[in-house]
A = this chain, B = another copy of it.
Amino acid sequence: MTFHYTRQTTDGQARLGVFSTPHGDIRMPAFAPVGTQASVKTLTPEEVKAVGADLILANTYHLYLRPGPDRVADFGGLHRFMGWDGPILTDSGGFQVFSLNDLRKVSAEGVLFKSHLDGSSHFFSPEKVMEIQAKLGADIIMALDECPDPLDRAYNEEALARTHAWAVRCAEHQQRPDEQALFGIVQGGIFPDLRLHSAKFLRELDLPGYAIGGLAVGETKAQMYDILDVVMPALPTDRPRYLMGVGAPDDIVEAVARGVDQFDCVLPTRIARNGAIFTRHGRLNLRNARFAYEHGPLEEGCDCYTCQRFSTGYVHHLIRSKEILGLRLTSLHNLRFLERLMEQIREHIAAGTFYEFKDAFLADYLGRGA
């Protein structure tokens, strides 16, 4: 079997495992940096590898529009196009298309939308996104789903029916099952019964992995954690569980505690480009004048290139002076921070000390005192 999730051990609900793909193993729980346009912003593939990432994500919506799936295929697929030889995941494009609001129109058949680049019209059906993702050639591909406002019950009921029908059509239309693992996406907003129904429905499709979509998009953190409490026990234990679009350190730790194996988020690289960094005591903004004369690293004890090599005062200067190197250095630090967090999570699950680690980490990170 090309794709296989091996659960190595558990600590409560937290799971330590490995997901095998044709381009290598993904150590789980895993955080995937996002390379929206076939580039993890500001960084080379070697740098992304060096921060400890096994898996990266690329966005089907963006790559479909530019450079286009045929061009990526002409270069031998995403791995060769972007020079990343490890596992890649592409989303279905659904999330981006449904974020276009006024620019899209949904039907049972699929979703009609206008490009944010040039206003041209396009149509995504389940079959179409399977074809596009086959050309992009990622190791993990996602079913087309509809992403409603998580608080709107009526809309969630209606959307869920489409999402399920689309998942079936995606599974039927998948082109390269030996090379690409198709993950289904559990939807249903903040409504436990809808979520349970969705998990049960998708389980029947016997897919190699399951994602939880439609969270971290408007509900409270408490609501998100509650939904995870409901959904996780309803998913098979021998398949990875992927919480889409989540990357805040506290959310990662809370989600792992509920059985999540996999994450992705633009947060670390996006806040980096605004001069903000993760530290174990929370986020800091390096633009602040108090960092101008700081001779120490961004974070004491951090092993990232930035912290090993430069003072906080220099990075502050670069950010203030709008130097691109500053964006690279903060991006590297933030990704390394998250990958190091994942390493610590995996070590603590292995040692059976994950929940103590979680409490200590959250006390530090959320500033509630140790």
Contacts and interface: CB of A to CB of B under 8 A. Distances in A.
A314 B81 contact: yes
Contacts of A328: 42, 44, 324, 328
A83 interface: yes
Contacts of A318: 37, 39
Contact of A324 (B74, B82, B313, B324): B324
Number of copies of this kind of chain in the complex: 2
Interface string A72-83: 001100000111
Contact of A75 (B43, B66, B314, B327): B314
Interface string A59-89: 0000000110001001100000111000000
A311 B67 contact: no
A310 interface: yes
9 contacts: A37-B321, A39-B325, A39-B326, A44-B309, A44-B328, A66-B321, A67-B320, A75-B295, A81-B311
A9 to B, nearest CB: 38
A293 to B, nearest CB: 6
Interface residues of A, number: 33
A41 interface: yes
B82 A323 contact: no
Nearest to A318: B39
Interface string A25-44: 00000000000011101111
Given A38-B317, A83-B310, A317-B38, A74 B293 contact: yes
Contacts of A309: 44, 83
A43 to B, nearest CB: 7
Nearest to A327: B324
A79 to B, nearest CB: 12
Interface string A308-342: 01110110011011011111100000000000000
A295 to B, nearest CB: 7
Given A39-B323, A293-B71, A295-B75, A66 B310 contact: no
B323 A41 contact: yes
B82 A42 contact: no
A66 B289 CA distance: 13
A97 to B, nearest CB: 18
Contacts of A311: 75, 81
A70 B31 CA distance: 42
A48 B370 CA distance: 43
A293 B313 CA distance: 43
A165 interface: no
Interface string A273-316: 00000000000000000001101000000000000011101100
A219 to B, nearest CB: 32
Nearest to A82: B314
Contacts of A67: 292, 313, 317, 320
A42 B317 contact: no
A286 to B, nearest CB: 13
Given A83-B310, A314-B82, A314-B83, A324 B71 contact: no
A313 to B, nearest CB: 6
Contacts of A42: 324-325, 328
Given A41-B323, A42-B325, A83-B309, 8 more contacts: A39-B321, A39-B325, A41-B324, A42-B328, A66-B321, A74-B293, A74-B313, A328-B328
